[in-house]
Amino acid sequence: MTEKTEKTKRIKPLPPAPSQQLIVDKLGGLLVRADTVQIDSEVLKRWSALLDVKKIDEIEIETFSGKMAQCKVKKISDSQLEGKGFIRIPDKTCQKLEIRKGELVRVKPVAQEE
């Protein structure tokens, strides 16, 4: 009986995550968490619609040299940077990925299985 119930509860496969190239902007300060980046709210909304999820909580950042990091994500708090294709990354994460302000990185959402 358990085999039948397992077969009927098939998990719908998630579509491939859309990636986007964004320009690095450093995020510094005393209360900045090293594991949280900021992205434009329009990008987050588009990903939510494409993946059919309520909210994107984590992303994967990949540099063109191949280094990767997984971070939590929030929308950009600076209204002057919204809609301009920026990703604000904390200084420590920039050092880890060996990237500088103005460089391009590939960013894609991490699909949360629920």
74 lies in some domain: yes
Q: Is residue 24 part of a domain?
A: no
Judge whether 93 lies within some domain: yes
Domain limits at 37?
Answer: 33-114
* Digit-coded pLDDT (tens) for 101-112: 999 999 999 866
When mean pLDDT is compared over 33-42, 47-56, 72-81, 96-105, the highest value belongs to 96-105
Q: What is the pTM of this model?
A: 0.78
Q: Assess if residue 112 is contained within a domain.
A: yes
CATH code (residue 59)? 2.40.40.20
How large is the average pLDDT for residues 91-100? 92
Is 6 part of any domain? no
Contacts from 93-97 at CB under 8 Å and sequence distance 24+? 93/34, 93/35, 93/37, 93/61, 93/69, 94/24, 94/26, 96/67, 96/69, 97/61, 97/63, 97/67, 97/69
Quick: pLDDT tens for 28-41.
877 888 889 999 98
| Signed CA dihedral, 53, 72, 18, 88: sign only | positive
Q: What is the pLDDT of residue 84?
A: 87
More confident residue, 25 or 81: 25
Report if residue 12 sits inside a domain. no
* Strand residues in 28-93 grouped as ranges (E): 36-39, 58-62, 68-75, 86-90
Does a structural domain hold residue 44?
yes
Domain count, the chain: 1
Neighbouring CB atoms inside 10 A of 73's CB total 21
Is 15 part of any domain?
no
